[in-house]
Amino acid sequence: MLVEVTGLAVTAGDRRLVGPLDLAVAEGERVGLVGPSGSGKSLTVAAVLGEVPADLRVSGAVRVAGRPAGDPSLRGRVAGALFQDSATALDPLARVGAQLAGPARRLHALTRAAARVQAREDLARLGFADPEDVARAWPATLSGGQRQRVALALALAGRPRLLVADEPTTALDTVSQAAVLDLVDRLAPALLLVSHDLAVVARCCTRVLVLSDGRVVEEGATAAVLAAPQHPVTRALVAAARAGPS
Ligand SMILES: Nc1ncnc2c1ncn2[C@@H]1O[C@H](COP(=O)(O)OP(=O)(O)OP(=O)(O)O)[C@@H](O)[C@H]1O
């Protein structure tokens, strides 16, 4: 199993924010995590990435590719991460091409020239018609949708086996949302996708877990959950997804 979470609990003092929760993602699988605001989605993926804030306590077993979450050998190489705000992923003081070449050189010992070629290829793969220009650009000169595509390229630059994406399209306009989701769907080797919007998860994920108050209240094939939601929280999410983009 690529991701194996058993008995995860995240607590703040004596308040339990997440858990107990089990979650598994197989190699190549696409799993969605949906739930209303505050249901524990972000803390769950933070636990998978080994990045739960230090003021919180994590218990249970979280393993990625057989190693404890947060193990430095996993970063970029096994799991790439994409968040809502691409501004935090990109260095404003480095050109796009140089940023993309970083992980390729660090994780795969590519030469500077080979990393440069790979960065151009990655930008083309990410739908940029003019990879040379984008590689030379500073992040601030790109649109929000373009920046998020670069952030996706960066998350995938180390050729990880898993993409972890937390609300990757929430900050984008509808057209960019569709473009970024399409790329996530096409390029993620395996996917753990967080969204408050079941329609977003339905686009990319074959299996979905519904969270409420830090626990999984429903789980199953996305199509089956959409067609016949059982839990009231799931029903509300299905109704919201049918009502259109949020
Ligand atoms: N560092 C923290 N200290 C205390 N409580 C926290 C901390 N981080 C998150 N929480 C609380 O934990 C709960 C779960 O938060 P989390 O961010 O995982 O929810 P979420 O489902 O991702 O919500 P959203 O969709 O709003 O991002 C919330 O009640 C939140 O207020």
Taking the chain (246 residues) in runs of 10, the rounded mean pLDDT of each run is 97 96 97 97 96 96 95 88 85 94 84 91 94 95 94 93 94 90 95 95 96 98 96 96 75
Task: Give the residue, out of 39, 85, 166, with the most ligand 1 atoms within 8 A of its beta carbon, to mutate for a pocket test.
Answer: 39
CATH number at 246 reads 3.40.50.300
Length of the chain equals 246
Assess contact for 96 and 134: CB atoms under 8 A.
yes
Q: Are 246 and 196 spatial neighbours (Cβ–Cβ below 8 Å)?
A: yes
Write down which residue in 128, 143, 159 finishes a domain.
159
From residue 64, how far is each of 61, 67, 133, 139 by CA, in Å? 10, 5, 36, 31
Q: Are residues 243 and 143 in the same domain?
A: no
Domain count, the chain: 2
Residues 72, 169 share a domain? yes
**Residue 29 CA, distance from chain mean position:** 13
Residue 220 domain-assigned? yes
Gap from CA of 51 to ligand 1 centroid (Å): 13
pLDDT reported for residue 202: 94
Q: Closest Cα to atom 28, ligand 1: which residue?
A: 38
Which residue's CA lies nearest to atom 1 of ligand 1?
Answer: 53
Q: Residue 177 Cα, ligand 1 centroid: separation in angstroms?
A: 24
- Of 138, 159, 180, which closes a domain? 159
- Is there a single domain that holds both residue 126 and residue 194? no
Q: Is residue 137 part of a domain?
A: yes
Any domain includes 64: yes
Same domain for 190 and 115: no
In terms of DSSP bridges, do strands 191-195 and 162-166 run parallel, antiparallel, or are they unpaired? parallel
Output the pLDDT for position 246: 56
Residue that is last in its domain, among 144, 159, 174: 159
Ligand 1 centre from 55 Cα, in Å? 13
What is the reported pLDDT for 245? Answer: 62
CA distance 47 to 177: 26
**Model-level pTM?**
0.94
Residue 83 lies in a domain: no
The ligand 1 atom nearest the CA atom of 53: 1
Give dist(CA 41, CA 214) in Å, integer.
8
Ligand 1 atom closest to Cα of residue 35: 21
| Interval between CA 39 and ligand 1 midpoint (Å) | 7
What local confidence, expressed as pLDDT, does residue 186 receive? 94
Q: Are residues 151 and 218 both part of a single domain?
A: no
Domain range for 238 is 1-78+162-246
Residues 112 and 211 in one domain: no
Distance CA 153, CA 125 (A): 8
What is the whole-number distance in angstroms between the Cα of residue 18 and the centre of ligand 1?
Answer: 9
Do residue 178 and residue 202 come from a single domain?
A: yes
Co-location of 1 and 17 in the same domain? yes
Q: How far is it, in rounded angstroms, from Cα 123 to Cα 166?
A: 21
In a domain, 39, yes or no: yes
Non-local (6+) Cβ contacts of 204 within 8 A are 30, 32, 181, 184, 185, 188, 191, 193
Residues with a CB atom less than 6 Å from ligand 1: 12, 17, 35, 37-43, 53, 55-56, 196
Q: Are residues 24 and 63 in the same domain?
A: yes
CA 142 to centroid of chain Cα atoms: 21
Compute the distance between CA of residue 32 and CA of residue 28 in angstroms, rounded to an integer: 13
Does 49 reside within a domain?
Answer: yes
Same domain (yes/no): 171, 224: yes
The answer to whether residues 148 and 245 belong to one domain is no
Ligand 1 centroid to residue 96 C-alpha, Å: 31
Q: Whose CA is nearest to atom 30 of ligand 1?
A: 38
| Distance (Å) from CA 218 to ligand 1 centroid | 20
pLDDT at 171: 86
Clarify whether residues 3 and 125 are in a common domain.
no
Q: What are phi and psi of 91, to 5 degrees?
A: -85, 120
pLDDT value at position 106? 81
| 139 domain-assigned | yes
